[in-house]
Structure 1
C-alpha cells in the first residue's frame, strides 16, 4: 500500500493543497538558480534548529508549510534547470516533512496525515533518495502514533529500498527506528536484533562522508534515545535506564526537546524499577516550557503509573500536588 501511494499519488495533491506564496527575492522573469536554492536551504536549517529546541508547536508547523509553498511557487513560476527544479521539489518536501513532524510531535494527527500525502508526492518528484528516506521515516512515526505498527514497519521497508539506506549512518537510523516498531508489537527478539544492527552500522560510519544537513541530528545520543524508546515499550526497565543515561551523557546542548523526552522516559524506567522517589525527582527536572507534545503525553503516562505503583508514597503526593497532569 505504501509503495503504491508513493508511486501513484497525483502531484496535484501537493500542488493544490499548498497554495502559492509570492517570493519577492527575484524579478517576475528572473531565472531560479542555486542562490535561490541556498536561501531556502538556510531557512530549512532554521526550521530544524527550532524543532530541536522547542519541538512540535503549531507555529513551527505553519512556518514550515509557508516555506514549502515558497519553494513550490518558485519552481512553478520561474525558469530553472531540471537540477534546480529537483532541488526545489526536494526542499518543498523537506519543509512539508518538517510540518509533518511538528504535527506528529504535537499530536495533531489529522493534519499530519495530510502533510504526509503532500510530502510523499513532493519527495517522489524531487528524485532525491535522502529526502525520500526522511519522509518515510516521518511516515513510520505517524503510523506509530496512530497505533498502526505494521504500517510503520512497511514505511521502514520503503525507506530501506532508497539508495540512501546504503550509507551506514542512514542504515543505523533505519534499524533503530525499526527496533522501536518491533518493540511496539512486543517482538523482543526482532527489536533487540535491530538495535544490535543499528549499533554495528553506527560503528562503520565515515564521519567525512558528505550528507544532508538535516541528518546531523542522528548520532550516538539519538541512537540511545531510540533504544530507550524501544526498551521502554518492551518493559526492559534496567536497559531503558542505561540507554537514558547514555543519551543524556552524549546529548548536545541545543537538543532541548530531546533532553526533556529523555528525562520523561528515564522517570518511567525508574518507576518501572519501583523507585518512585527517584522517578519523581527526575520528572521534576523537566522545565515547564518543554511539557507539550510527546513529553506531555509521557508525563501523563508517568502520573497514571505512579498512582498505580506507589499510590501512598510521599513522592506520589508531591507529584500530584505540584504537577496536576
Structure 2
C-alpha cells in the first residue's frame, strides 16, 4: 500500500507532527460545531494510505488547515457507481431548468436580490478568529497559520462585496479582516519571515483604520514594534511602540497600558538602556495591578497580557542587557505561570533560560535546560535562533568539555529535520 507523500510533505513544510495536525483539524471541526475525534492514529492512517478519502467534515477541516484543495494533499476521491437511468437524468435537467426559469420570472427586473450581512456573520468570523489565536498560541509562526489567517481575512472582505450591511456591520467586518491579517503578520514575525510580515502590516493597518477599532490597531502597531526590534531597526521599533501606546484604548485600559510598557522595555533592553528598562517594567507592573482582571477584552489579549507574559518580556529585556541573574529569575517565574498549551512560549523561555545560566558559568545546568526543549518545538525559527546563539556561546565557554560534546551530539541526532 502506497503512502501519502503529498500530505507528508505538507506536514513537514508546516512543521506539524501527527498529534499536532490532529489537534489543528479538531480545532477547525469545533469551530463549526462538531466534536473533534481525529487522533494521531487517524493521521497515521492518512499518511500510510490506509485511509485514502477522509470523512467529508475532516476533508473540509484539512482544506482549512492547509489552505488548499483536499486533492492537493494526496487524497483520492472514491468512485461512486451511477444508478440513475438516462431518463431520470433528462427529467432532472428539465426540472432544474423549469425551477430556474420560475425563480427568474418572480425576481425584480434588472437585478438579483442582495443577501443581508449581519452581526451573525461577524460573530461566526470572531469564533474562527478565537480558534486561530489558540492555534497560534500553541504552535507559533507556521506558514499554515499565516496562510489560514490570510484566507480568513479574504472571507471577511468578501462579505463586504456580496451583500447589504449597516455601517456598524461593515466596520466590524473590516475589524475582522484586520484581526486575521494581524495574525498573519505575527505568524510571519514569529517565523522570521520579515518581508512577508511587513506586507501584512501594511494591509492590516489600513484595514484597522477603516474599522475604527482601536484595540486591533494597538495589536497591529505593537506587532510592528516587535517586527522592527527583531530586524534591529530600533528607531522604528520605538516609533511603532509609541503609536500603539498613544491610542485611546492604551490610555484608558490599564491592561493595554501594562502590555505597552512591557514591550517597550524589551526595546530598551535591545538598545542597552538599563535605566529605561527598569522604568518601563515598573510602569508595566503598576498598570497591571490597576487593571480589572474581570473586564471583557479581545480574545488575543487574554493570551499575551498576564503575569507570565510580563515576566517573559522582563526576561527578554534583562537577557539583552546581559543581566543573566535577573534574566534567570524572570525565566523561572514565567515558566511557573505559563499555561499548559503555550508550547512555543515555554520553549522560548527555556532557550533564554539556558543561555542565561550559561552566562553565569553554569554549563552543566544550562545544557540540561536546553535538552528539556521538545525536539519538534526546537525547530521553531525563534527557538532555533536562540539555541544557535547558545551553541556558539557554549563552544566559546567550554570548547572541549564533555558536556559541550554531549550537546553537539544531541544537536546532531535529536534536532535533525524529520
Deviation per CA, 1:151-209: give whole Å up to 9, x if none.
Answer: 11101110112111021111000000000001111111111110111111111111122
Work out the CA distance in 2 between the residues paired with 1:304 and 1:231. 20
Equivalent residue, structure 1, for 2:254: 168
Which of the residues 40, 48, 56 maps onto 2:125?
40
Work out the CA distance in 2 between the residues paired with 1:197 and 1:237. 22
Instruction: Kindly indicate whether residue 395 of structure 2 is the aligned counterpart of residue 307 of structure 1.
Output: yes
Contact between 1:141 and 1:152, CA under 8 Å: does it hold in 2? yes
Instruction: Kindly indicate whether residue 319 of structure 2 is the aligned counterpart of residue 232 of structure 1.
Output: yes
Which of the residues 64, 68, 93 maps onto 2:178?
93
Equivalent residue, structure 2, for 1:221: 308
Instruction: Kindly indicate whether residue 344 of structure 2 is the aligned counterpart of residue 257 of structure 1.
Output: yes
- Displacement of 1:212 in angstroms is 1.0
Deviation per CA, 1:4-56: give whole Å up to 9, x if none.
Answer: xxxxxxxxxxxxxxxxxxxxxxx982211111101100110111111111110
Q: Secondary structure at the match of 2:147?
A: helix
Q: Secondary structure at the match of 2:383?
A: helix
Q: Provide runs of 4+ in structure 1 moved above 4 Å.
A: none
Equivalent residue, structure 1, for 2:384: 296
- Displacement of 1:92 in angstroms is 0.5
Which of the residues 266, 270, 279 maps onto 2:353?
266
Which structure 2 segments of 5+ residues have no match?
1-111
Q: Secondary structure at the match of 2:156?
A: helix
Q: Secondary structure at the match of 2:293?
A: coil
Which structure 1 segments of 5+ residues have no match?
1-26
Contact between 1:97 and 1:116, CA under 8 Å: does it hold in 2? yes
Equivalent residue, structure 1, for 2:240: 155
- Displacement of 1:76 in angstroms is 2.5
Work out the CA distance in 2 between the residues paired with 1:279 and 1:68. 42
Q: How does 1:94-109 map to 2 (within 5 A)?
A: 94-109=179-194
Contact between 1:45 and 1:214, CA under 8 Å: does it hold in 2? yes
Q: How does 1:1-325 map to 2 (within 5 A)?
A: 29-166=114-251, 167-217=253-303, 218-291=305-378, 292-324=380-412
Matched residue pairs, number? 299
Q: Secondary structure at the match of 2:229?
A: helix
Q: Secondary structure at the match of 2:117?
A: coil
- Displacement of 1:267 in angstroms is 0.4
Whose Rg is larger?
A: 2
Most deviating of 40-49 and 71-80: 71-80
Work out the CA distance in 2 between the residues paired with 1:318 and 1:28. 70
Work out the CA distance in 2 between the residues paired with 1:128 and 1:76. 20
Equivalent residue, structure 2, for 1:5: none
- Displacement of 1:313 in angstroms is 2.2
Contact between 1:55 and 1:293, CA under 8 Å: does it hold in 2? no
Contact between 1:183 and 1:231, CA under 8 Å: does it hold in 2? yes
Work out the CA distance in 2 between the residues paired with 1:137 and 1:295. 21
- Displacement of 1:85 in angstroms is 0.8
Work out the CA distance in 2 between the residues paired with 1:306 and 1:204. 42
Going from structure 1 to structure 2, the CA distance change for 1:28 and 1:99 (only over 3 Å counts) comes to: farther
The RMSD of aligned alpha carbons is: 1.2
Deviation per CA, 1:232-257: give whole Å up to 9, x if none.
Answer: 00000010000000001111111111
Contact between 2:181 and 2:204, CA under 8 Å: does it hold in 1? yes
Contact between 2:115 and 2:162, CA under 8 Å: does it hold in 1? no
Q: Secondary structure at the match of 1:323?
A: helix
